[in-house]
């Protein structure tokens, strides 16, 4: 649904985006990860037709982002920037109705759409609030409701949870998950990594304008992890289990984590991991739990950027 081919826009040395190749499947949430100044917002502005690239191509569905296609692309996209303007003197209803009119939605249909987007963002109770009275979290929800007013297929959200307290971040995440269930394709730019890992189907890590990796967190971790961390729970003598582990090839740094829990690192291949379990069981160890300790998104991000 969103695709770029060698997309390039340079501003200065290591500022901009360079030969960027994004692939966002329809109906998925793509987490666009990178530090401030990495090129996330530049990419988003190009996709929305707000900035012209130096070279390369960008597509929204089957439409290339070109001047002649911008009106149709704007109908397909709902874009919420990290900081958006509000008309302080308006009520929430008037604010969303204004944007509905800008999209030329007929007045009768507009009323229905306002009710739908407020319900979707759990903001119905705010319908008569003045925009000036809204907290940061409330404004983000109304900003998202405004972004949804023309029922776009693609949502591009730039730091939607930025500046929110933990409760508001959870509510925003739940709303985004509801939008995915409705079949929306979502490009979600953020640097709040724990939030992304829990909601995104795919992530792309951008650093100094270059896309370093993209894929699921699990796949990227598998590709980058030099040593596998294994968690083991036993229902037998833990000292015996530890002694056996320490004698197995490729097993290193065996630790007793709890009364029945062990942790070790394995420097062999994933195909060889099963041999560790087999050897434990063949030596009479009763294994209740044996699993790889998956890295979180923060670990993945640090590993990727450190390598570059």
Measure CA 38 to chain center. 16
pLDDT digits (tens, 9 = 90+) for 84-109: 888 889 999 999 999 999 999 999 89
Least confident of 12-21, 212-221, 230-239: 212-221
CA R_g for the chain:
24
Rounded to two decimals, the pTM is 0.77
What is the rounded distance in angstroms from the CA atom of residue 64 to the CA atom of residue 59? 4
Q: Are 17 and 9 in contact (CB under 8 A)?
A: yes
The pair phi, psi for residue 20, each rounded to 5°, is -85, 130
Q: Are 152 and 113 in contact (CB under 8 A)?
A: no
pLDDT over threshold 80, residue 191: no
What is the rounded distance in angstroms from the CA atom of residue 145 to the CA atom of residue 129? 14
Q: Could you tell me which residues come within 8 angstroms of residue 298 by beta carbon, excluding any fewer than 6 positions away?
A: 193, 194
Is the pLDDT higher at 162 or at 135? Answer: 135
pLDDT digits (tens, 9 = 90+) for 46-56: 999 999 999 99
Q: Are 43 and 22 in contact (CB under 8 A)?
A: yes
Least confident of 67-76, 162-171, 246-255: 162-171
The confidence band for 226, taking pLDDT boundaries of 50, 70 and 90, is low
Domain annotation for the chain: domains and CATH numbers? 2-215 (3.40.50.300), 226-294 (3.30.70.100)
Q: Are 185 and 153 in contact (CB under 8 A)?
A: yes
pLDDT over threshold 80, residue 302: no
How far, in Å, are 20, 58, 61, 111, 238 from residue 47 at the CA level?
12, 6, 11, 30, 56
């Amino acid at each position: 649904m969103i695709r770029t081919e060698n997309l390039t826009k340079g501003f200065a040395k290591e500022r901009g985006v360079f030969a960027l190749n994004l692939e966002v499947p329809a109906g998925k949430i793509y987490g666009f990860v990178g530090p401030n100044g990495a090129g996330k917002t530049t990419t988003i502005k190009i996709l929305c037709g707000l900035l012209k690239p130096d070279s390369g191509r960008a597509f929204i569905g089957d439409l290339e982002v070109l001047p002649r296609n911008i009106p149709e692309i704007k109908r397909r996209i709902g874009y919420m920037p990290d900081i958006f303007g509000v008309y302080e003197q308006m009520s929430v209803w008037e604010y969303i109705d204004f944007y509905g009119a800008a999209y030329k939605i007929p007045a009768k249909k507009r009323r229905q759409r306002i009710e739908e987007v407020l319900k979707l963002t759990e903001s119905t109770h705010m319908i008569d609030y003045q925009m000036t009275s809204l907290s940061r979290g409330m404004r983000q929800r109304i900003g998202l409701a405004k972004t949804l007013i023309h029922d776009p297929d693609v949502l591009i959200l730039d730091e939607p949870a930025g500046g929110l307290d933990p409760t508001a971040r959870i509510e925003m995440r739940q709303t985004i998950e509801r939008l995915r269930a409705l079949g929306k394709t979502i490009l979600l730019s953020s640097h709040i990594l724990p939030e992304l890992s829990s909601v995104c189907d795919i992530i792309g890590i951008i650093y100094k304008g270059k896309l370093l990796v993209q894929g699921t967190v699990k796949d990227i971790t598998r590709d980058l992890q030099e040593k596998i961390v294994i968690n083991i729970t036993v229902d037998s003598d833990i000292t015996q289990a530890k002694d056996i582990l320490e004698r197995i090839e490729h097993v290193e740094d065996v630790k007793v984590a709890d009364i029945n829990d062990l942790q070790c690192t394995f420097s062999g291949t994933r195909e060889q991991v099963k041999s560790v379990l087999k050897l434990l069981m063949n030596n009479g160890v009763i294994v209740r739990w044996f699993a790889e300790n998956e890295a979180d998104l923060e670990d993945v991000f640090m590993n990727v950027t450190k390598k570059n």
